[in-house]
């Protein structure tokens, strides 16, 4: 397995919708393994393919307490959502930035696993938030896009400061 280079904001690949996976090949399975390794290396809960520069509709996540139960979602789609809750989010493509975002409280999605089997999964709280955050990535939407103009300007300023300090 390989740790992949993360794509960080303002890279235009984060604003581009990804393409559906037509066939699950050995290359796709390797990408999924590498994405999982990358997510763990950067201590993330989820990671979308375009965050590592791949134009594929795939995301991985692991919400388990021990961090040893990754799940892969290929061509995910939201089939149900309800409620609303505001919680803090971070993003591996926006290192050091945490923002309160309103999202659905409950979400149900359908996807393919790495063997091409269709499955459904639902969740509340951070599981639902992760589903929505990663599917947004696959649709070319970042969490900055979910902010009001004023909050986005403040978040952009904070992110620029963090990136300047990291240099």
**Average pLDDT, 10 consecutive residues per value, the chain (167 residues):** 94 97 98 98 96 98 92 98 95 94 97 98 96 98 95 92 80
So what's the pLDDT on residue 167?
66
Q: Which residues contact 49 (CB under 8 A, 6 or more apart)?
A: 18, 31, 35, 55, 56, 57, 58, 59, 138
State the Cα–Cα distance between residues 108 and 149, nearest whole angstrom: 29
Task: Supply 75's token pair.
Answer: 């061509």
Per-residue pLDDT tens digits for 27-37: 999 999 999 99
User: For the chain, which residues make up each domain, given as ranges?
Assistant: 12-166
Q: Tell me, yes or no, if 63 is annotated catalytic.
A: no
- Is the domain defined by 12-166 classed in CATH 3.90.45.10? yes
Catalytic residue selected from 77, 88, 134, 156: 134
Q: What is the pTM of this model?
A: 0.94
């Amino acid at each position: 397995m390989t740790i992949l280079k993360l794509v960080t904001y303002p890279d235009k690949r984060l604003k581009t919708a990804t393409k559906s996976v037509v066939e699950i090949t050995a290359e796709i399975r390797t990408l999924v393994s590498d994405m999982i390794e990358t997510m763990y290396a950067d201590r993330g809960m989820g990671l979308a393919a375009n965050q590592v520069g791949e134009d594929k509709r795939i995301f991985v996540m692991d919400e388990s307490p021990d961090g040893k139960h990754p799940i892969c979602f290929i061509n995910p789609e939201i089939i149900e959502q309800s409620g609303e809750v505001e919680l803090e989010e971070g993003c591996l493509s926006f290192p050091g930035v945490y923002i309160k975002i309103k999202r659905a409280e409950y979400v149900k999605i359908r996807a393919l696993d790495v063997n091409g089997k269709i499955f459904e999964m639902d969740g509340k709280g951070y599981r639902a938030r992760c589903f929505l955050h990663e599917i947004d990535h696959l649709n070319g939407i970042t969490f900055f896009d979910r902010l009001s103009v004023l909050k986005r300007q403040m978040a952009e300023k904070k992110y620029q400061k963090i990136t300047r300090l990291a240099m």
